[in-house]
Amino acid sequence: MNFFKSFFADSRFFIALSLVCISYVLGYFYVGFEALGDVVLIALIVAGVADILLLFSQKNGLEIERIAPQRLSNGDENTIRLVCTSRYTIKTECSIVDEIPHQFQIRNFEISASFEKNSEHRFSYSLRPTNRGEFEFGNINAFVTTNIGLFKRRFTFEQKQALPVYPSFIQMRKFEMYAISNRLSDIGIKKIRRLGHTMEFDQIKEYVPGDDIRSINWKATARSQNLMVNQYQDERSQQIVNVIDMGRVMKLPFDGLNLLEYAINTSLVISNIALIKDDKAGLVTFSNSDSVVVRPEKKKTHIRKIQEALYKLETNFMESDYERLLINLKTHLNQRSLVLLYTNFETYSAMERQLPYLKRIARDHLLVTIFFENTELSSLLNKESENLDDIYVKTVAEKFNFEKRQIVKSLTRHGIHSIFTPPKELSVSAINKYLELKARGLI
């Protein structure tokens, strides 16, 4: 069956074969049509032979190469390119089927193109992975037909390759570019007003209009006879630790990615921003058993170590052990740090069970608890009720939404900072909080 599917053109061959049959039927029932079937059959054979000769005259009539990045970025659109070269001396039609990794569940992928004689075409398509790991690409198949269109020739190109899917390095580079050029506000990062001089002294420089007059150094001014001011910079070498809950509460999916993948992507972004700001970045994960610890360091190459650790994270989504987390932080963090805890509390009682551990962590570190807004509930709340069932569903949704707000208030009462954010806005919200706490000198 596969032979017929790949050798015969989809419709023209069977239309021609049907004409032969009709011609013979007409010749059998009507006088004068006896030779019509033979004529049509001979014409079909001649056209078929010509079609086969044109298709198979070139041994390597078509070549296709896949050009893919060395790794894919999780949650982002990744571009895959196909370079197609036709060596046929006639115009041909081509259908290209790339064997995409099964994780994408794309079963109808096909690119149709027309090739002039001795021509080259470049095609591209994008893939958006939603989980980390190794993705296997298969061969590239192409089906070529001529203008006659009775038969098609199948080409199979050995292009098998395995590409790893890493945490979103595309998102990391985007935020890195804006951070280096001091344009983070362009992508939603708030400008934070600094409260006094909670920063380290950098140098004394000559006053220029716009400098803070409270920073005037009168002794230096008297010596140089020019108005001089002190220049400050953000405090450096502070420890920023991303703590990721690997438990079942992080399994909820939003826009294709589960909450764990959002937390992993944002941890990579925050770690990179912290290193750009000359802080130390670290990573701690916790679940019901094993944990991963990457001690905070300041080296620029440290981001690769964090990236590799995030790439290899695996979980069975069991209930997380907060007591194990507390022990890990006491063991591995030897100074006060900014701890960004990525978790998710769906109910007030779930938060209350872990509150004693959160309070003990907050004694030693500046703790920021990050949990997620259920965007599906938000859409239900904004939807108009049409019947009694809709009112019931909306009431339940409002109850869950109210509990989330109560969780924020309760954490604030106990001196624990919190971020309550939609998953898509996690990176921007986390960077805003980091820069705010740094500007206020709380770290």
Q: pLDDT for 211-221, tens place per residue?
A: 777 778 888 88
Report how far residue 439's alpha carbon sits from residue 193's, in angstroms, rounded to the nearest whole number: 7
pLDDT at position 183 is 62
Instruction: Tell me what percent of the residues of the chain surpass a pLDDT of 70.
Output: 84
183 by Cβ neighbours in 10 Å (0-12 / 13-18 / 19+) ranks as exposed
pLDDT, tens digit, for every residue of 384-437?
777 777 777 778 778 888 888 999 999 999 999 999 999 999 999 999 899 888
- Does 334 map to a domain? yes
pLDDT at position 193 is 52
- Does 248 map to a domain? yes
Specify whether 19 is located in the same domain as 67. yes
pLDDT, tens digit, for every residue of 54-69?
998 888 899 999 999 9
pLDDT at position 272 is 94
Pair 210, 249: CB distance under 8 Å:
no
DSSP state of 103: G
- Does 198 map to a domain? no
pLDDT at position 52 is 87
**pLDDT tier for residue 302 given thresholds of 50, 70 and 90:** very high
Pair 229, 216: CB distance under 8 Å:
yes
Q: Indicate whether 351 pLDDT > 90.
A: yes
- Does 85 map to a domain? yes
Report how far residue 83's alpha carbon sits from residue 284's, in angstroms, rounded to the nearest whole number: 43
Q: First and final CA of the chain: distance in angstroms?
A: 69
* 182-186-192 Cα angle (round to 5): 65
Specify whether 218 is located in the same domain as 325. no
Pair 377, 400: CB distance under 8 Å:
yes
Residue 115's nearest CA partner among 51, 48, 64, 157 is 64
- Does 143 map to a domain? yes
Specify whether 110 is located in the same domain as 173. no
Specify whether 160 is located in the same domain as 275. no
Residue 390: which CATH number?
3.40.50.410
93 by Cβ neighbours in 10 Å (0-12 / 13-18 / 19+) ranks as middle
* Residue 389 host element (H or E): helix 388-413
For residue 127, give both structure tokens: 């893939």
Average model confidence (pLDDT) across the chain: 85
- Does 200 map to a domain? no
pLDDT at position 236 is 63
**pLDDT tier for residue 80 given thresholds of 50, 70 and 90:** very high
Specify whether 133 is located in the same domain as 282. no
Say how many C-beta atoms besides its own lie within 10 A of residue 243's C-beta: 27
- Does 199 map to a domain? no
For residue 412, give both structure tokens: 């604030």
Say how many C-beta atoms besides its own lie within 10 A of residue 344's C-beta: 22
Specify whether 255 is located in the same domain as 368. yes
Report how far residue 355's alpha carbon sits from residue 336's, in angstroms, rounded to the nearest whole number: 20
pTM: 0.80
Pair 243, 284: CB distance under 8 Å:
yes
CA distances in angstroms from 405 to 122, 382, 402, listed in the order given: 52, 17, 5
Pair 282, 270: CB distance under 8 Å:
no
- Does 420 map to a domain? yes
Specify whether 182 is located in the same domain as 304. yes
Please list the residues that pair with 121 across neighbouring strands.
84
SS3 213: helix
Range from 18-27, 199-208, 214-223, 380-389 carrying the lowest mean pLDDT: 18-27
CA distances in angstroms from 113 to 52, 66, 159, 363, 394, listed in the order given: 20, 16, 20, 65, 50
Specify whether 92 is located in the same domain as 227. no
Q: State residue 88 phi and psi, 5-degree precision.
A: -70, 145
Q: State residue 33 phi and psi, 5-degree precision.
A: -110, 15
Of 335 and 28, more confident:
335
**Sheet arrangement for strand 153-157:** 111-115, 92-98, 140-145, 153-157
Report how far residue 21's alpha carbon sits from residue 443's, in angstroms, rounded to the nearest whole number: 86
Q: Indicate whether 98 pLDDT > 90.
A: yes
Q: Indicate whether 36 pLDDT > 80.
A: no
**Total domains, the chain:** 3
Specify whether 348 is located in the same domain as 250. yes
Specify whether 354 is located in the same domain as 407. yes
**What is the amino acid identity at position 188?**
G
239 by Cβ neighbours in 10 Å (0-12 / 13-18 / 19+) ranks as buried
Q: Indicate whether 41 pLDDT > 80.
A: no
Domain boundary among 147, 166, 185: 166
Specify whether 317 is located in the same domain as 377. yes
**pLDDT tier for residue 191 given thresholds of 50, 70 and 90:** low
Specify whether 211 is located in the same domain as 86. no
Q: What is the DSSP string of 70-88?
A: SSEETTS-EEEEEEEEE--
Residue span of the structural domain in which 211 resides = 205-232
